[in-house]
Amino acid sequence: MMLTQKEKARLRELAQRYAAAASLPEQSVRRAGWERFNMLESERPRALIDQLPWNELNVDGCLDNQVEEPYWQRVETWMLRETYKWDHMRADMVLDPYVKLPRPVHNSGWGLDAKVTRLLMDKTSDVASQSMENLIREPEDLEKIHTPTLTLDEAKQAEIADTADDVFRGIIGWRFTGLVMHLGAWDTIAYWMGVENCYIELMDRPEMMHALMEKMTQGYLGMIEQANRQRLFDTREHYCHCSHTYRPDDTDAAQGLSQDAWAFGLAQLFTAVSPQITADFECAYMRRIFPRFKHIYYGCCDRLDDRLDIVSALPNVRKISCSPWSHREAFAEKLPRHIIMSNKPSPALLATESFDEDALRADLRRTVDAARRNGVQLEMILKDVSTVRYEPQRLWRYSEIALEECGR
């Protein structure tokens, strides 16, 4: 993990840029606002932007990597993107006053390696159409699945710490980040089987799919136990599934236990199944996992307005996603008031041939009005943006319009 002098200079330069923004007094004001918001105190709606087509935003090379060492290139990318967002489309984002360094935790995997065929429309993009080969054709195939083993590489962690001290000394603090666990079992299963095959087997062989979910549940519980023994959970992370999670009751103690941490769950392919399937094949299992965590963010691109009574009853759920597939008025009306409505504006509004600001504003206003009418705490997170037609200014303008509508 040796860095050249040129790479160190690059990281120091970016750290100085990040530190200049992260040390602004405005950050503490923003952080306090999120704390009140997440505690359901009277606050205006919030807006965030994440998961972007970075290939389209790098029009002048401003996001090019110069660090070649793989681990530190990830850190370089993080600083580049955070400062870019702050400079151009900050919305309600907060920059923490330290550089985040991922802990080197090795995951052995589940024992199945997805076989995926990808079709790219733009070779510079990570967005692709994907087809998955079915790896679970018979109940016997479930024996291939094993609980992943999580192992902290302590020697590598010590090496990272020494390098961080050398690079960031006198500029900004740093800290290791831990696990924010992704509990989306059906995302993983979809990669093993393909979405269509999942649907077919849920109808034709539900007993096999129950056995699969039991296997996954035991695996998650096993990973949680391993991570707790090694104190791997991040109890001070303020970002979960693209949402700021600042709360005044956050623990500052670096205990690393799941009981003090956020996690997120989802079952995206269940948009096309009945609420009863969600209850039987998702929630019945998540009810055994979610109690291990302090807070849960639930949902992603899945439609949930027609099954809010089911998912909102899951343990420790604090935020639920209202995706573009959900009917937002029905969602706001049905959502229990102790849970935050985490709306996802449609990224298609930024992908049209010509950018229609009026249509965007009307869409955001409709969401704000629905939440306000029903007394619901609302955040709007623009994410999963595949394209802005190589016009980054669309995102910059979105940030301005979203803040205007949130403050209306």
**pLDDT digit string (tens) for 148-186?**
999 999 999 999 999 999 999 999 999 999 999 999 999
pTM of structure: 0.96
Residues of the chain with pLDDT under 70: 251-254
Residue 94 to residue 26: CA distance in whole angstroms: 9
By the 10 Å C-beta count (0-12 exposed, 13-18 middle, 19+ buried), 365 is classed as middle
E strand or H helix at 47: strand 46-49
Cα angle 234, 236, 237; round to 5: 70
Among 211, 188, 225, CA closest to 285: 211
DSSP string over 139-184: GGGGGG--PPPEEE-HHHHHHHHHHHHHHHTTT-EEEEE-B-EE--
- What pLDDT is recorded for position 127? 83
Radius of gyration of the chain (CA): 22
Q: Which helix (H) or strand (E) holds 240?
A: strand 239-240
Q: What is the pLDDT of residue 144?
A: 97
Domain ranges of the chain: 5-406
- How far apart, in whole angstroms, are the C-alpha atoms of residue 28 and residue 25? 6
Helix (H) or strand (E) holding 357: helix 357-373
pLDDT of 124: 84
Question: What is the token pair recorded at 190?
Answer: 């979809």
Pairing of strands 378-382, 340-343: parallel
What pLDDT score does 43 carry? 86
On whether the CB atoms of residues 362 and 401 are closer than 8 A, the answer is no
- How far is Cα 271 from Cα 299, in angstroms, rounded to an integer? 11
DSSP three-state, residue 205: coil
DSSP string over 59-122: TTSTT-----SHHHHHHHHHHHHHHHHHHH--TT----SEEEEE--EEE---S----EEEEESS
End-to-end CA distance of the chain: 50
Taking the C-alpha atoms of residue 83 and residue 19, their distance in angstroms, rounded to an integer, is 10
Choose among 121, 105, 342: nearest CA to 244: 342
Place of tokens 């996603």: 321
Q: How many residues does the chain have?
A: 408
The predicted structure's pLDDT at residue 254: 64
Architecture in CATH for domain 5-406: Alpha-Beta Barrel (3.20)
pLDDT on residue 241: 96
Q: pLDDT digit string (tens) for 194-205?
A: 999 999 999 999
